[in-house]
Amino acid sequence: MYRSRRWLAVAAAVLLVGTLEALSDTAFDALLPFPFHTLFLVAVVGAVAAIGAWLAFRQIDRLTRDLRERNDVLESRNDVLRALYDTSLAVAGQADPDQTIAVIVDHARSLLRADAALLALDGPAGELSLRAARAAPGVLLGDEPAAGGVMAPAEDDLGCFLRAGYEIRLVTPVGLGDKRVGMLGVAVPRALHRRFGRAETETLAALATQAGLALEAARLQRQLKIVAVQGERERIAREMHDGLAQVLGYVNTKSQATDEMLADGRVAEARVQLGEMAAAARSVYVDVREAILSLSTPIPPDRGVTAALEEYAALYAESSKLAVQFHASPEAGAAQLSAASQAEVFSIAREALTNVRKHARAHRVCLELSLQGDDLVLRVEDDGVGFEAELLTIGPERWPHFGLAGMRERAESAGGSIAWESQPGSGTRVELRIPVGGGSSGLLPERVASPGEIHYPTGQRQAVRSPAAGVSEADYKS
């Protein structure tokens, strides 16, 4: 109703009531005796009020109905947006692809209020493989399948997975870029006369896009695993070449020399050679133990980097026979660090300790973990022979067996930095700085076993020379 008409209706009602009131004192008194003229006025006013109320209530009901319909539309769109947001987070967070796809199919069924929702992937020969499905009992052929559990003939129809009486009423392709890899559809009873609108079609298309992204994420995860496995194989191969293979070549040379000495009757010299071979064997034994430890998960999910370094320091002290001190401040133990950054800190500390054992000829090594401002600081310091740290400005590739380039790359990948301080004869100090963030990616505060310094153990705090100290680097070169 237009604004002018609404006010015209109000004015007409007021004019009518005013006219009746004016006539009641003149004409009505002569025509109708009391109290009939009063009853007549009440009846007329009541009729006018009833008509006005009926019109007003009718308008209010129509507005209420419109608001309720619009609210239902907004709630439906909000549900769609929430479902898309949840699936986007799952895809971006690299969650389990099968679980993400199952959630997408479940959203398709609930949002479109269908009896079944199905996602099938295209096979190499054009056949369809049912990847995920959510349906009411008695809709699918057999029980709800696991991923890829049901195959269909080479036909472009999801209806082959349904029982009689149901049909796919709305379907959309699932693609990776411009290539179709599958189909996502919803099913309703064949006897139900229902047509899906534009909004529902767009909702299913958006869910199909999310399914395509989840499938692409799954493919990328598989490729990343392959690359990671290949990288780990290459790392193990390098370590075997730089350590085990060279020591075995060294032992082979020494054994031949020992055999010749024994043949010539030089027993004393042969025993010296045997001692050197025994030292080399002990050294490669430690290398193998460290390689085995590096293949396991360095930081379990229920522990932080502080606890992992504490445990590794104890194992390192036992295997290397070096006096090891470990200290972690409570602030460092409570710092929030992402899982990737914690893994890099642990790997750098492990590489630094390996360098101490192999090259420093140290008696003692200290590890200190502290929090300075917004940085987690790890210091590894030994009292070994040291080296010319100034030459690092030329490039750490001058000492490829130190792994300094890899340590620097690991630090930079975590957004941090690493520096070496050393002089010949004065030991070496490695300082790693990693920025600490308080985001959701951080872990819960870690457990610190006890404040202050932790020594491993009392009997191993004596200055014990590394078993590999008697073997020169030149002896390891092949």
> Got the DSSP string for 226-294?
HHHHHHHHHHHHHHIIIIIIHHHHHHHHHHHHHHHHHHTT-HHHHHHHHHHHHHHHHHHHHHHHHHHHH
Domain assignment present for residue 367? The answer is yes
Domain assignment present for residue 84? The answer is no
Work out the pLDDT band at 472, boundaries 50, 70, 90.
very low
**Distance in angstroms (rounded) separating the CA atoms of residues 464 and 444:** 38
Q: What is the pLDDT of residue 44?
A: 75
Domain span at residue 59 reads 3-77
Would you give the distance in Å from CA 12 to the centre of its chain? 70
Q: Which residues contact 46 (CB under 8 A, 6 or more apart)?
A: none
Tell me: the pLDDT tens digits for 143-197? 544 444 555 554 557 888 888 899 999 999 998 877 888 999 999 999 888 888 8
Q: Which residues contact 324 (CB under 8 A, 6 or more apart)?
A: 313, 314, 316, 317, 364, 365, 366, 367, 455, 456, 460
Tell me the three state secondary structure of residue 436. Answer: coil
Where a domain ends, among 53, 77, 101? Answer: 77
Domain assignment present for residue 273? The answer is no
Please state, for a pLDDT cut of 70, what percent of the chain lies above it: 72
Is the confidence at residue 100, as pLDDT, over 70? yes
Where a domain ends, among 34, 49, 77? Answer: 77
Give the DSSP H/E element, type plus range, for residue 373.
none
Q: What is the pLDDT of residue 5?
A: 65
Q: What is the pLDDT of residue 441?
A: 35
Where a domain ends, among 77, 112, 137? Answer: 77
Is the confidence at residue 30, as pLDDT, over 70? no
Tell me what the mean pLDDT of segment 69-84 comes to: 75
Tell me what the mean pLDDT of segment 429-458 comes to: 52
Task: Tell me the two tokens of residue 237.
Answer: 């191969």
Domain assignment present for residue 226? The answer is no
Give the DSSP H/E element, type plus range, for residue 24.
helix 3-24
Residue 13: Cβ-neighbour burial (10 angstroms; 0-12, 13-18, 19+): middle
Domain assignment present for residue 145? The answer is no
| Rounded-to-10 torsion of CA 99, 100, 106, 108 | -160
Report whether 392 contacts 427 (CB < 8 A).
Answer: no
Domain assignment present for residue 125? The answer is no
Q: What is the pLDDT of residue 458?
A: 32
**Distance in angstroms (rounded) separating the CA atoms of residues 72 and 34:** 56
Own/partner contacts of 438-442, CB < 8 Å, gap of 24 or more, are 438/336, 439/336, 439/338, 441/338, 441/339, 442/336, 442/337, 442/338
Report whether 145 contacts 113 (CB < 8 A).
Answer: no
**Distance in angstroms (rounded) separating the CA atoms of residues 238 and 445:** 36
**Distance in angstroms (rounded) separating the CA atoms of residues 280 and 272:** 13
Phi, psi of 355 (to 5 degrees): -65, -40
Which of 279 and 444 is assigned the larger pLDDT?
279
Domain assignment present for residue 344? The answer is yes
Tell me: the pLDDT tens digits for 316-354? 888 788 899 999 999 998 888 888 788 889 889 988 998
CATH code of 355's domain: 3.30.565.10
Q: Identify how many contiguous H helices and E strands the chain contains and give both numbers.
A: 12, 11
- 117-126, 137-146, 191-200, 219-228: least confident range: 137-146
What strands lie across the sheet with 323-328, from one edge to the other?
417-422, 428-435, 375-382, 364-372, 323-328, 453-456
For the chain, the average pLDDT equals 76
Domain assignment present for residue 60? The answer is yes
Across 125-218, the runs of DSSP E, i.e. the strands, are 128-135, 150-152, 166-176, 179-189
**Distance in angstroms (rounded) separating the CA atoms of residues 222 and 182:** 19
Q: How many domains does the chain have?
A: 2
Tell me which residue of 303, 300, 299 sits closest to 445, measured CA to CA: 303
**Distance in angstroms (rounded) separating the CA atoms of residues 340 and 262:** 55
